[in-house]
Structure 1
Amino acid sequence: MSGTSSIAVIGTGNMGRGLARVLAAAGHTVLLGSREPERAQQLATELGAERVRGMRNVEAASRASIVFLAYHSNDTLVEELAPVTEGKVVVDISTYHEEPPPDFNPLTQVPSGSPQERTASRLPRAHVLGAFQVTWAQLFSEPLLDGRKTPVFVVGDHAEAKAALLALIRTLPFEPVDAGGLRQARVLAAMYFLVTRLARQYGFREHGHDWRTLSRSLNVLLPPALGLRP
């Protein structure tokens, strides 16, 4: 993956802006998409990177080789993106936004589906992958933990698309981990539920160190859950 690659980031929230920042810093051209192009253009200016350009969602996706979906679930937008993402790598970084039932145990259960699988069903002609689902937005500002890259778990069923994404992430201050097929996004969702419950229970956010503590927890918890070597 060359430093001149054009990468679309659809979404201007905390995750979208953080991802755009690290991609640009690694030398990639970032096409930042929004429903309101003025907002995307303003954010591109705020990021202070010559490599970030703001525009409408569909335009950004149509001009990029890899498309990151960094927004809350939106079927209307997915339909708009379908014609311009055929044959492209589409990376859904979203997580569940609904709280699971109180009796859901993320240590022993996984959800019946995942946002990534839903996106794949809506974009059947794209190569849909999942990544960054358990990466807190704060980590884009400080991605190194004790001088080490933070792991990013990548799931997907298309071998060439996954290889391209793994190569792209290696250019960033993150360490990609091949976590299996797209169905494994359900395991990542369960772990997301687990760490968010831990954050609330132990007040990580209130003490201002949630992302550091939770990221270290993920390093320990996720590899065995995914059947990976520690």
Structure 2
Amino acid sequence: MKIGILGSGLMGANLGKLWAREGHEVIFAYSRSVQKLERLAQECGGCHGSVSDAANTADVLLLAVHWSRIEDLLEKAGELSGKVVLNCCVPLNETDTEIAVGTTTSGAEELVRLRPKARWVSCFNTVPSEAFEPVYARKGAIPQPQVLMYGDDAGAKDVADGLIREIGFEPLEAGPLRTARFAEPFAMVTAELAYSQPGGPALTYRFEKLR
């Protein structure tokens, strides 16, 4: 599978490298630094190109940019008609201190409004990127940490399910895309636990129903 990584921050870089280890062809796009894209591509044996290149040639896209860059990126990406897009963005303000969209809508729902022909599913945005490598290193261990996954397109969710499992997480079905109204603020809780509380940022979670 060819995966386009739209964004060169920690989230996109870490997931792209791990999917490359799983045998996927990865194309990195969208960065202020072409050298950064070149380095990421070299590190995982992938390639780099424009957002348009990634949108046109990849089977699946990962949207991993700051919310303030969404409109610019989507303008470069085009209509994304029929494309499966995994959204791991949290709609934060410029200082990353407040949710910029909610609770009667959400970042995920605004993306659908902006590109209604894409096949959206949200995942990974409630887990710090620093957890990906250690989870991958423990892949197959039981119990697995979970990742919330929500969206309205069953086929897109099937694709996301497989890619989540390849990293070493268990996908946790969290319902339709409107779940984002509550999941995106939950990402602020995991960020607080990861970055402001003792123990380091490699935070995971798991929900269990008691019987």
Q: What is the TM-score of this pair, normalised by structure 1?
A: 0.77
1:42 to 39, 42, 47: 39
**Which blocks of at least 5 consecutive residues in structure 2 are unaligned?**
none
Deviation of 1:140 (Å): 1.8
Aligned AA (2:5) = V
Conservation of the 8 A alpha-carbon contact between 2:29 and 2:51: yes
Deviation of 1:129 (Å): 1.1
- Map 1:179-198 to 2 at 5 A: 179-198=174-193
Deviation of 1:96 (Å): 2.9
- Residue 22 in 1 paired to residue 22 in 2? no
What SS does the aligned partner of 1:142 have? helix
Deviations 1:79-118 (A, max 9, x none): 22133x21010111011323348xxxxxxxx723222111
Aligned to 1:210: 201
Aligned AA (2:74) = V
- Residue 117 in 1 paired to residue 109 in 2? yes
Aligned to 1:81: 77
Conservation of the 8 A alpha-carbon contact between 2:88 and 2:123: yes
Deviation of 1:78 (Å): 0.9
Conservation of the 8 A alpha-carbon contact between 1:42 and 1:54: no
1:60 to 40, 54, 59: 54
Deviations 1:131-170 (A, max 9, x none): 1011101012211499343311111101111112212322
Deviation of 1:7 (Å): 0.7
Deviation of 1:9 (Å): 0.7
Aligned AA (2:88) = I
Conservation of the 8 A alpha-carbon contact between 2:148 and 2:173: yes
Conservation of the 8 A alpha-carbon contact between 1:136 and 1:211: yes
Residues 71 and 16 (structure 1), Cα distance of their counterparts in 2 relative to 1, 3 Å cut: same
Aligned AA (2:23) = G
Give the percent of matched residue pairs that are identical in Structure 1 and Structure 2. 26
Aligned to 1:8: 4
Residues 111 and 100 (structure 1), Cα distance of their counterparts in 2 relative to 1, 3 Å cut: farther
Q: What is the TM-score of this pair, normalised by structure 2?
A: 0.84
Conservation of the 8 A alpha-carbon contact between 2:128 and 2:191: no
What SS does the aligned partner of 2:4 have? strand
What SS does the aligned partner of 1:58 have? helix
Decide which structure has the larger Cα Rg and report it.
1
Counterpart CA distance in 1 for 2:19 and 2:129 is 14
- Residue 126 in 1 paired to residue 118 in 2? yes
Conservation of the 8 A alpha-carbon contact between 2:28 and 2:41: yes
Counterpart CA distance in 1 for 2:139 and 2:190 is 18
Aligned AA (1:15) = M
| Cα-Cα RMSD | 2.4
Aligned to 1:33: 29
Aligned length, in residue pairs: 199
**Which blocks of at least 5 consecutive residues in structure 1 are unaligned?**
102-109, 224-228
- Residue 160 in 1 paired to residue 147 in 2? no
Conservation of the 8 A alpha-carbon contact between 2:132 and 2:167: no
